[in-house]
Structure 1
Amino acid sequence: MCTTHYNYTQWTKLTINTTDEAVDWVYTLLIDADYGGDICIVPYTKCDNFSPWTFTIELHLGEDTRTYQHIDKISKLLIPLQHNGMIDELEVLEVESRLIKKASIFQRRICDRFLIVPAHQTHINSLPNDIIIKMKPSLAFGSGFHPATILSLQLLEKYVTPGMHALDMGCGSGILSIALAKLGASVLAVDNDAIAVKTTKESVLLNNVDAQVIITEGSLGQGITLGHWMGRKIRNDIQVINNQQKFKLIVANIFARTHITLVKDYQQALVKNGILILSGFIDDYTPSIISAMEKQKFSLIGKEKICEWESLAFILKV
């Protein structure tokens, strides 16, 4: 749903058709491109039964000397998502007037207790046992659009107990770190993306859980060698989480290949009977992930699924 008003001048309209899992990532890339204007997410409406697209993202650039430089920057940042088949080609159209469509992001219930609300919302329809998580719409990576985020929250609600020391591996927006903290855990949140680290810090402060969450630019074990998932440069001096830090729970919402690479690091970072929650992959990868984990003394204890997206929970038996 969008709110509308008109403004007449010369504008450049950018349109991006996306899969549901790409919405958060497009938002994040627009932040990287220093886009601070209006963004609207609407359902994909073209009549095409075979199209992979589920949403259309629209934004406008005002007419100035840097417009085409800005378009070029946005276009280049979107290339990896295009190569992965997650978004369509960027459509650029000159328009004399813009119909500003501000996405009206309302509160969103996930699982039994989590209630995700926009930061600006003052009236919240909540139940006594609800866990409220405030997120800025402009910092939407991992904000609840993606099935993998929902699945991670479902498993956290099942397995987190107060007093746990937890690691959020690849913290993104910080939504999982906030959920962990509000469930009573102390949290180390890490990501090798500087934007994600900045976003997590802002989100943690917004939710008043900064006393429970430590945030750092880093990675676990071999994760330091895998590079950035979008091919961006990462700093050479980011922190490596060493084996001396032990966690009762690790949650990682990242690519399947990264989970498999990190299996030994997961084992070394967990205490005996520690819980490992893995998300960020479709069910084609589930057998290989389970096989890799079982070889390192992990036992599958839980599973959640939305369409082809799947998340797994393991316990470490050593």
Structure 2
Amino acid sequence: MVDWWLEVSVPVENEAAEAVADVLSRYAYRGVVIEAGPEGWNAGPVVVKAYLPADDQLRANKRRIEEALWHLGQIRPVSAPTFRSVAEADWAKAWKERLNVLHVGRHIVIRPSWRDYTPTPGDIVIRLDPGMAFGTGLHPTTQMCLVALEEMIYPGAEVLDMGTGSGILAIAAAKLGAGQVLAVDNDPIAVGTARGNVMINGVQETVSVVRGSLAEVSGSYDLVVVNILSKVIVEMMGEGLATRVRPDGVLIAAGILADQGAEVVTAMERRGLALVEQRQRGDWVCLVAKQGYFSG
């Protein structure tokens, strides 16, 4: 059990955020988050953050990050990273102060487990304790995925959630009527957090949370959702993500900066997926694609 983490923060302009996130993701196995700056998502810099476990690789990984960001800074403006130690308990406390009850879409309500909320008729309430896993519902990409799920889930649908994080999207799919949901993450902390959230939401009969990667996922699904980074989504396309989408099935892909969308669309189309909708919130896009189309 890791008692504390090294938080890495890099303020950058929007167009450099994904490149910085790619660097950090090589060393932060539990993921990277991109947060809005004080002026919001559409103006000013964003902050790319990652958390490194305090293990025997910490010193070396810190040095590698500093070197990689220095090299990236020769190509485009990148600020020097800042580092601070964060105890797991302090991290959780900071999130608890920040998170409030959040309404998303027509009926979805995200209720942090420590907040009180009285549901109104029609509410679909998701109790959430993010722990050390990403996926709180605050980020525009998560909200766009939730809205897309609300519109596209139908009773009995089989769903795959790749990179589940806190489990928020998998839980939403179950509460919206999915028959079976497979939630996958390669981070053991995320897997533990997601399993806990599945239990407190009472959807353990519908949602299975497993540690693994796309290569270990068999079969195909009516709906696949992946909310990661565009580079990872493109890589997953090369690893067979499209084959996990059934004929006439849907792929919801997010975590994509607007200027990276075309690359993801090209990767989708090369593997038989047709883009049917692109949604945008600030500098982030959510792509909705369907199976059944092939471009040579």
Shorter-chain TM-score above 0.5: yes
User: Structure 1 unaligned runs (5+)?
Assistant: 1-13, 33-42, 57-68, 93-99, 222-239
The aligned counterpart of 1:152 is 145
Cα distance in 1 between the residues matched to 2:159 and 2:64: 34
The aligned counterpart of 1:233 is none
Structure 1 residues 285, 124: closer, same or farther in 2, change over 3 A? same
| Residue 216, structure 1, aligned to residue 190, structure 2 | no
Tell me which stretches of 4 or more aligned residues in structure 1 moved more than 4 Å. Answer: 14-22, 43-46, 53-56, 72-88
Cα distance in 2 between the residues matched to 1:153 and 1:305: 13
The aligned counterpart of 1:278 is 253
Is the 1:105–1:137 Cα contact (8 Å) retained in structure 2? Answer: no
The aligned counterpart of 1:114 is 108
The aligned counterpart of 1:249 is 223
> Greater CA deviation, 203-212 or 147-156?
147-156
CA displacement 1:155-202 (0-9 Å, x = unmatched): 111111110011001111100110011011110111111111111111
CA displacement 1:279-302 (0-9 Å, x = unmatched): 111011111111221222212122
Is the 1:17–1:53 Cα contact (8 Å) retained in structure 2? Answer: no
Is the 1:169–1:253 Cα contact (8 Å) retained in structure 2? Answer: yes
Is the 2:10–2:82 Cα contact (8 Å) retained in structure 1? Answer: no
SS in 1 for 2:82: coil
| Residue 259, structure 1, aligned to residue 233, structure 2 | yes
Please state how far the C-alpha of 1:105 moved relative to its aligned partner: 2.6
| Residue 294, structure 1, aligned to residue 269, structure 2 | yes
**TM-align CA RMSD:** 3.9
| 1:1-318 pair list within 5 angstroms | 52-53=45-46, 83=69, 88-90=81-83, 103=97, 105-121=99-115, 123-136=116-129, 138-139=131-132, 141-185=134-178, 186-221=180-215, 240-242=216-218, 245-263=219-237, 265-317=240-292
If each structure's helix is expressed as a fraction of its own residues, which one has the higher value?
A: 2
- The percentage of counterpart residues that share the same residue type is 29
Amino acid in the other structure paired with 2:103: R
Amino acid in the other structure paired with 1:153: L
Structure 1 residues 132, 298: closer, same or farther in 2, change over 3 A? same
CA displacement 1:80-114 (0-9 Å, x = unmatched): 5994969951368xxxxxxx976153201111111
SS in 1 for 2:276: strand
Is the 1:18–1:87 Cα contact (8 Å) retained in structure 2? Answer: yes
Structure 1 residues 138, 270: closer, same or farther in 2, change over 3 A? closer
Cα distance in 2 between the residues matched to 1:44 and 1:164: 38
Please state how far the C-alpha of 1:52 moved relative to its aligned partner: 2.0
Cα distance in 2 between the residues matched to 1:52 and 1:220: 33
Cα distance in 1 between the residues matched to 2:109 and 2:153: 17
Cα distance in 1 between the residues matched to 2:60 and 2:126: 32
> Greater CA deviation, 289-298 or 261-270?
261-270
Please state how far the C-alpha of 1:305 moved relative to its aligned partner: 1.2
Amino acid in the other structure paired with 1:176: L
Amino acid in the other structure paired with 2:199: L
Cα distance in 1 between the residues matched to 2:196 and 2:125: 16
Name which one, 1 or 2, has greater alpha-carbon Rg: 1
SS in 2 for 1:189: strand
> Greater CA deviation, 137-146 or 204-213?
137-146
Cα distance in 2 between the residues matched to 1:206 and 1:78: 40
Is the 2:130–2:193 Cα contact (8 Å) retained in structure 1? Answer: no
If each structure's strand is expressed as a fraction of its own residues, which one has the higher value?
A: 1
Amino acid in the other structure paired with 1:174: G
